[in-house]
């Protein structure tokens, strides 16, 4: 049978070939994206270790999280800071857990208890499965502008699995620069 001068078999083969090439390209794109995302977190971890004040470093080392990357969540006062991290079940059994934030401290050991929202709120993973978790932190006036607050997000069912977090409130000068406003 012919359709517009081409045999139907040939049209089906071309359509299948195009679909295979499309999904192959999308898979490569996603692999590159996740590789770049992991590299970004690794770069932040290296920079954070070098820039962390001595008191904050000693606090972080007591949590035994020195090997994990650092996620920086920053926003202006009254806004939400947004980040994404990966949880992987490397155990030989399924897990179901919620993410538990630690206390957060600045370099002078002043404690704050920020509000977090996770999506998904709870994680259920079979052995070897992974999930991306979105985290939102409400940045408000309890944060001193330009001060870094160090803490972590803990995954209780995965012993030793933490995501180190630095929370920051942008200063008024940064807010003007980011938004393009001037006085």
**Pair of tokens at residue 136:** 């939102």
pLDDT grade for 63, boundaries at 50, 70 and 90: very low
pLDDT at 43: 57
pLDDT at 14: 80
For 50, which DSSP code? H
Q: Write the CB contacts of 52 (distance below 8 Å, at least 6 apart in sequence).
A: 60, 150
Distance CA 139, CA 3 (A): 61
pLDDT grade for 183, boundaries at 50, 70 and 90: very low
Distance CA 85, CA 71 (A): 8
CA distances for 33 relative to 20, 22, 37, 38, 174, angstroms: 20, 16, 6, 9, 28
Distance CA 60, CA 51 (A): 13
Residue 32 clears pLDDT 90, i.e. is over it: no
Report the pLDDT averaged over residues 69-90. 90
Q: What is the largest CA-CA distance in the chain?
A: 79
How confident is the prediction for the chain on average, in pLDDT? 77
Q: Write the CB contacts of 140 (distance below 8 Å, at least 6 apart in sequence).
A: 77, 78, 169
Question: Which residues is 85 bridged to in the sheet?
Answer: 133
**Pair of tokens at residue 183:** 């006085």
**Among 4-8, 75-79, 122-126, 162-166, whose mean pLDDT is lowest?**
4-8
Residue 176 clears pLDDT 60, i.e. is over it: no
pLDDT at 44: 56
pLDDT at 70: 87
Of the chain, the percentage scoring pLDDT greater than 70 comes to 63
**Pair of tokens at residue 37:** 């995302």
């Amino acid at each position: 049978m012919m359709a517009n001068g081409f045999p139907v078999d040939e049209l089906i083969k071309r359509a299948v070939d195009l679909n295979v090439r499309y999904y192959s390209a999308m898979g490569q794109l996603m692999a590159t994206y996740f590789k770049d995302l992991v590299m970004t977190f690794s770069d932040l971890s290296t920079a954070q270790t070098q820039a962390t004040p001595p008191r904050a470093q000693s606090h972080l080392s007591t949590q035994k999280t020195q090997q994990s990357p650092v996620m920086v969540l920053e926003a202006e006062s009254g806004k939400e800071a947004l980040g994404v991290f990966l949880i992987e079940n490397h155990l030989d059994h399924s897990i179901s857990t919620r993410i538990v934030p630690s206390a957060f401290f600045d370099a002078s050991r002043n404690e704050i208890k920020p509000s977090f929202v996770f999506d998904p709120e709870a994680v259920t993973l079979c052995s070897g499965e992974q999930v991306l978790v979105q985290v939102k932190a409400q940045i408000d006036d309890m944060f001193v502008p330009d001060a870094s607050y160090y803490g972590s997000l803990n995954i209780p069912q995965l012993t030793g699995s933490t995501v180190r977090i630095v929370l920051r409130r942008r200063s008024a000068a940064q807010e003007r620069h980011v938004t393009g406003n001037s006085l």
